[in-house]
Structure formats: structure tokens, C-alpha cells
Amino acid sequence: MGFSYAVKRALSVSSGLAQIGEFSFILVGMGVTLGMLPEEGRDLVLAGAFISIALNPVVFHYSNAFYAYIEKHSTLSKLFTIDDKHSAQAEKCLLKQKKHIIIVGSDVIGSHVIKDTEGAQKKFVVIDVNHEKVDDFKAVGVETIIGDAAEAEILEQARLSEASAVVILVSDPYETGRIANAVRRYRLI
């Protein structure tokens, strides 16, 4: 939320970061080996790691419940809702958008796709979670949405039902599959 991300994403990321990771084991091992950390300190870090690993699914579950609670209560919703000017502007502009191409992941290849198809008179909508990348596209007049393309509300905002194509340019194969499945599910609705 402090970095202007939506509450749902902020809760999800913070829940994931709440767990002590494997890197802490490496640091603790080095600390004990170099004599900078007593063995009792190592035991405390390991105990903390086991507890955080065990509690992580519970934290994820309650972060989703907390988000649902925030949505239901208007006072909290106003307090935690960040006015995302990018999404609001894209939503207004996309109300008229039809037969556009949705580009998910706005890296260098996304720029090339848009540039190489300029003569075809196609309209584009770029969806990405990175504010800076989205701002670069917005600066050259491309409609943008900040968010996770695997979420139905983002796909609806991008007017997927009116789009002529979806181009997924995400480098992570897991994320690509997740987004492709969400697009398929949305098209079937």
C-alpha cells in the first residue's frame, strides 16, 4: 500500500514475505561458523523459521479474509483504497475500446509489438504490475492498466470480451500459464 499497490496485492505480498526464508539459514550458519552468533542464537532463528513456515498458510488465509472484510465496510474501504489514477483513466478510456489487442507484461518485446504493428491501426491495452513500465507506455499514448492479468476484474477492465487478441509476454512460465488459464476462463463466461 505504501508503494501505491492495491490493497489485495499488498496483503498478498506481505503475507508471502512474512515467512523466514532459506537465506536466513545460510546467514545463521555463517554467523555461527565465524563466531559472530552463538549456537543458541541459531536455535532461536531456526525455531522462528519453523513457526513462520507453519503459520504462513494461516496468514495467507486471513489476509484474504481481511481484504473481504475491508471491501464490505465502506469506512475501511475508503481508508485502505488507493486512488490509482492509472486504472481509473484506463477504465474510462476502455469503455469505448473494441477489437483491441491486450498485451500482458510490458517489457521490451511489448514495445516492439506495438511499434511493429503501428501501420495496422490497432489499439493496444497494456496490463502490467510494474508502475514504471506502465508509465512508459502511457507516455506514448497507449492505454494501460496496473494489475495482475490473472484477476477477473483486471481482465474485465481491459474489456477482454471485446479484444481481438491477447499477447502474454511474461517471462515466468508459471505466471504465463496462470494468466492464460484466467483468459480462457474469462472467455468461457
Residue 81 pLDDT grade (very low, low, confident, very high; cuts 50, 70, 90): low
Mean pLDDT of 66-78: 74
Query: So what's the pLDDT on residue 96?
Result: 61
What confidence score (pLDDT) does residue 43 get?
A: 92
Q: What is the pLDDT of residue 71?
A: 73
Structural domain ending residue among the three candidates 80, 112, 132: 80
- Do residues 22 and 54 both lie within one domain? yes
Spatial neighbors of 73 by CB under 8 A, at least 6 apart, are none
Do 108 and 76 fall into the same domain?
A: no
pLDDT at residue 66, rounded to an integer:
82
90 with 178, same domain: the answer is: yes
pTM of the complete model: 0.55
Residue 8 pLDDT > 80, yes or no?
Answer: no
Domain boundary among the residues 58, 80, 102 is at 80
Are residues 132 and 184 both part of a single domain?
Answer: yes
What is the structure's pLDDT at 78?
A: 66
Within-domain flag for 2 = no
Does residue 142 register a pLDDT over 50? yes
Per-residue pLDDT band at 87 (split at 50, 70, 90): very low
Q: Which strands, in side-by-side order, build the sheet including 101-104?
A: 143-146, 124-128, 101-104, 165-168
Number of domains present in the structure of the chain: 2
Q: Are residues 98 and 145 both part of a single domain?
A: yes
Across the chain, what does the average pLDDT equal? 79
- Mean pLDDT in residue range 183-188: 84
The reported pLDDT for the residue numbered 53 is 84
Give residue 157's domain range.
85-188
CATH number of residue 104's parent domain: 3.40.50.720
